[in-house]
């Protein structure tokens, strides 16, 4: 497994921890759109941007 892929695995682990901690630590107490709704909206936006950057950089030679 390459280093960039290890970063991907690490990102996966962080993401899972985040989505399993935040709901019970914070989102239980935020009955507003700026709470859970915004959190669950921003997470995929961030992941999509991260994945685009990852694939473009790591697979550069194969995308020419």
Partner 1 sequence: MNPLWIYLAIVIWFAVGSLISWQARKRLGKGVTEYFLANRRIGGVIGAFTLSATVYSAFMMIGLVGLVYAGGIAAFGFEIVFLVASLILLALFVPRFWIAGKKYGYVTPSELLGDRYKNRAIAVIAAIIFIITLIPYTSVQLMGAGLLAEGLTGGGIPYWLGSLILPIIAFVYAWWAGMRSVAWTDALQGVIMLIGSLALLAFVWINFFPEGMFSTIATSSPEKLKFTWGFNMWLGLCLPWIFFMLLIPQVSQRFFILRDVRSIRGMIIGFGIFGLIYTVLVTIFGLAAAHIVPGLEKADSAMAALLSLAPVGLALVVTISIFAASVSTINSIVLSLSSIAGRDIYRALAPRISEDRELFWGKLLIPIMFLIAWGFAQLKLGMIGILSTMSSGGLMSILPALIGAFFWKRGTATAVISSSIPSVIVIGWFYVAGLKPLGLWPPVWGLIISTVIYVVVSLLTKPPEKAAEFVDYTSNWQENAKTLVD
Does 30 bind partner 1 (CB under 8 A)? Our answer is yes
Q: Which of 18, 6, 13 is nearest to 43 (CA)?
A: 18
Indicate whether 3 belongs to the interface with partner 1 (CB under 8 A). Answer: no
| 33 near partner 1, rule: CB under 8 A | yes
In angstroms, rounded to a whole number, what is the distance separating the alpha carbons of residues 8 and 21? 20
CA distance linking residue 2 with residue 64, whole number of Å: 20
Name the site residues for partner 1 (rule: CB under 8 A): 1-2, 5, 8-9, 11-12, 15-16, 19-20, 23-24, 27-33, 35-37, 39-41, 43-45, 47-48, 51-52, 54-56, 59, 61-63
């Amino acid at each position: 497994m390459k280093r960039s892929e290890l970063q991907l695995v690490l990102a996966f682990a962080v993401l899972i921890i985040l989505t399993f901690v935040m709901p019970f630590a914070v989102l239980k107490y935020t009955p507003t759109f700026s709470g859970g709704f915004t959190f669950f909206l921003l997470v995929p936006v961030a992941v999509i941007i991260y994945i685009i950057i990852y694939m473009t950089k790591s697979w550069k030679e194969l995308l020419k």
